[in-house]
Amino acid sequence: MPHDIPDDGSVLVRTWFGDDAAWNAVVAETRGDGDDPAKESGTSPFTAVDDRDFDGATTGQVIQAARSHSSSYLFLADRITLTDPEHPVLVVDLDDSQADSPATVRVASYQLGDVESNLATANVDFAEFRSAADADGVFRGFRVTVEQRHIEKGQILDAIPESPGAETLELLRSDLENTFSVYPNSRSVQLPAIRIADLRSRRAELLAGTFPYGRTPFGYADMVRFCDAGGPAWGLHLPKRSTISGSAA
């Protein structure tokens, strides 16, 4: 019968002992060392419980052994974990342990460190990882869907307000009017754009940027201000005039 699990932070409990090499690989991956157990450079956030008293233990038995544990989550390396190439570790929500079937999700071992860190700091809750798991129930990371569309040049021009005092907007208008101007009806030219869910995500990128001769580009301060305000936007890059001027072939 498994004995009590020590209350020592995040605990990774081994419940299948059929493959020592696979177990060592999982432990190595929790240190950020890939699958090379010989590396010792990383520090694992987990306390690894490699105790044969837990051989064949059910999830319920391990939960019972962790009844005095202060952590809200338990990590199990069972037969599935150690026989699947991705080593999907079973994560159990101990806050849900009174339910008939406590909430669980499997996490590919290369994602385990990030998942543990986010759960421990409450940056991301358990339900979010479960909902982001793939159809087979394994969380392999959050999928980023890039939403794209095309916007007519004329639509952008029409959206620029008449404001003679706003130099940035006037420069944008001038650039747009000259973009693809060699083509007939250039207002209908489609410009590719990518949706930015929240402009605040671009603020750090802007502030970290370096520019030739230490000179910031025209409109930079306005862009930082807009990013501070946040909110969704469509981002697009205008081609340089030199690449689109001249005669159309």
3-state secondary structure 112-148: HHHHHHHHHCCCCCHHHHHHCCCCCCEECCCCCCCCE
Cβ-based neighbours of 33, under 8 Å, separated by 6 or more: 39, 40, 41, 42
CB atoms within 10 A of CB 67: 10
User: What's residue 207's pLDDT?
Assistant: 66
User: What's residue 249's pLDDT?
Assistant: 31
Residue stretches of the chain with pLDDT short of 70 = 1-3, 32-43, 97-100, 144-146, 163-166, 201, 203-218, 238-249
User: What's residue 188's pLDDT?
Assistant: 87
216/235 Cα distance (integer angstroms): 19
Q: What is residue 76's three-state secondary structure?
A: strand
User: What's residue 133's pLDDT?
Assistant: 92
Q: Select from 3.40.50.1820, 3.40.50.300, 3.40.50.800, 3.30.70.141 the CATH code of 10-139.
A: 3.40.50.800
**pTM for the whole structure:** 0.58
Q: Which residue type, as a one-letter code, is found at position 221?
A: A
Q: How is the chain split into domains, by residue range?
A: 10-139, 148-244
Cβ-based neighbours of 239, under 8 Å, separated by 6 or more: 179
3/134 Cα distance (integer angstroms): 34
Q: What is residue 155's three-state secondary structure?
A: helix
Evaluate whether 232 touches 195 at the Cβ level (below 8 Å): yes
User: What's residue 39's pLDDT?
Assistant: 45
